[in-house]
Amino acid sequence: MKPFNQYKRLFVFGCSMTNYEWPTWADMLSQEIPEYYNYGKSGGGNLFISNGIVEANIEHKFNENDLVIVMWSSVSREDRYKNSWVTPGNIYTQDFIQMDFVHKWADTRGYLIRDLALVELTRQYLKNLTCDSDMLSMCKFTDQVVLDDRKEDVFKDVLEHYKETIKSVKPDILQSVYNGVWPQTPIRGWGGNGQTADYHPTPIGHYKYLENLYPNLVTEKMKLYAEKYETLIRGISSLDETQKFWSVNNVRRL
């Protein structure tokens, strides 16, 4: 990978770990690559993510001047398309899809098989393009399992089958920055009536993640950018207040 400022365009894909109510690792990279397309969406699963990569390449025709980075989400997600993408997040904790469907059809092993195939297809797809690319993840593919009491050994054959695929994905932000426990920032959810802590990495956490992944490529400009927004976030009490200084990046999708 070249120094970030040597790329002309940046394309990123993911969930709320990529596109959120404050700057993420992707926005920090955009400080060095100003032509920037963020295809992330809160709650997005790996079907949504992989679809976006193909869609973006068809539209923008990735080339040798582009950097494409994918941050894979957790596997227990059900993306749906009804007029536009509906991305409720973890199937076991969301409140969009009815729980009778969840109990009848949700299967973490099936999600793992589905998503690792999508990761492998994406890996081969990007390998055959001229752009530079990298694949990250928010957590281990077997993390974030809720209401499924099967142990990881039930997935051993799947993990073995896709071991080269898994190796191609860089260490996840949950383990490499937070030792497996999401941070709890004392900020209320939307509308002031939601949860009393936010579990997403703050800008400094995102910067530390980039520093761990690309120690020779992160810049002082990116660090100062992260520190600026970290200060702003630490000074608010509700996610609603982030609208004063931040707008979520929205890229046109089919």
Question: Do 171 and 180 contact (CB within 8 A), yes or no?
Answer: no
Give the position of tokens 């690559």.
Answer: 33
pTM (2 d.p.): 0.95
pLDDT digits (tens, 9 = 90+) for 189-219: 876 667 889 999 999 999 999 999 999 999 9
Euclidean distance between CA atoms 208 and 223, whole angstroms: 9
All structural domains of the chain with their residue ranges: 4-178
Contacts from 236-243 at CB under 8 Å and sequence distance 24+? 236/187, 237/186, 237/187, 237/188, 238/187, 238/188, 238/189, 238/190, 238/192, 239/21, 239/187, 239/188, 239/189, 239/190, 239/194, 239/198, 240/190, 240/191, 240/192, 242/21, 242/22
Question: Do 36 and 62 contact (CB within 8 A), yes or no?
Answer: no
CATH number assigned to the domain with residue range 4-178, chosen from the 4 options 3.30.70, 1.10.10, 1.10.3470, 3.40.50: 3.40.50
What percent of the chain has a predicted confidence (pLDDT) above 70? 94
pLDDT digits (tens, 9 = 90+) for 8-66: 999 999 999 999 999 999 999 999 998 999 999 999 999 999 999 999 999 999 999 99
When pLDDT is averaged across residues 175-201 and rounded to a whole number, the result is 88
Q: Which two tokens stand for residue 8?
A: 């002309």
DSSP-assigned letter for residue 35: E
Question: What is the model's pLDDT at position 147?
Answer: 46
Quickly state the pLDDT bin for 151 (edges 50, 70, 90): low
